[in-house]
């Protein structure tokens, strides 16, 4: 039998009332997170916390406690600047990119080169400079001795 995704979800939710209630609460939270404004988010969040708290679903106990503990920060996240919600996502991505560069550098010892590489990777409009370096990055080591011929 061929079923659409919606038909599969409806069938699964018809099997258990607790599963259906959990799904509805999850969808309500997602709707809150995507459509609430700074004007109505405080009251709406309190209603959602209450619904999760009184749902009787054991798996949601930790979640409503988390919402209650971070209530102020969640409400502040609905402030908008230039039409966008405030988020630390961009800075987290930058930190991840820097850590990836460090991991792939295999212990680079030249700080200037590492700094320049990070700046070049993170800056989308950085020009590629076609100038020769006046100094080498090669490490100074003890010169190799002569080979022994047998």
Looking at residue 132, what is its pLDDT? 55
Residue 22: exposure state from Cβ atoms within 10 A (0-12, 13-18, ≥19): middle
Looking at residue 138, what is its pLDDT? 67
Q: Cα angle at 62 between 15 and 23, to 5 degrees?
A: 25
Q: What are the boundaries of each domain within the chain? A: 5-85, 89-122
Looking at residue 137, what is its pLDDT? 62
Reported pTM = 0.60
DSSP output for 58-96: GGGHHHHHHHHHTHHHHHHTT-EETTEE--SHHHHHHHH
Looking at residue 68, what is its pLDDT? 93
Task: Give the residues of the chain that fall short of pLDDT 50.
Answer: none
């Amino acid at each position: 039998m061929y079923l659409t995704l919606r038909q599969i979800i409806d069938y699964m939710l018809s099997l258990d009332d607790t599963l259906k209630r959990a799904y509805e609460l999850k969808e309500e939270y997602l709707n809150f997170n995507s459509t609430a404004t700074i004007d109505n988010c405080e009251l709406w969040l309190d209603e959602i916390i209450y619904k999760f708290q009184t749902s009787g679903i054991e798996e949601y106990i930790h979640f409503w406690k988390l919402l209650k503990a971070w209530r102020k920060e969640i409400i502040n996240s609905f402030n908008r600047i230039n039409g966008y919600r405030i988020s630390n996502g961009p800075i987290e991505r930058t930190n991840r990119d820097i850590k990836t560069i460090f991991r792939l550098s295999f212990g680079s010892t030249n700080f200037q080169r590492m700094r320049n590489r990070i700046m070049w990777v993170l800056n989308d409009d950085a020009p590629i400079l076609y100038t020769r370096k006046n100094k080498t990055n090669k490490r100074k080591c003890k010169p190799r001795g002569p080979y022994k011929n047998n």
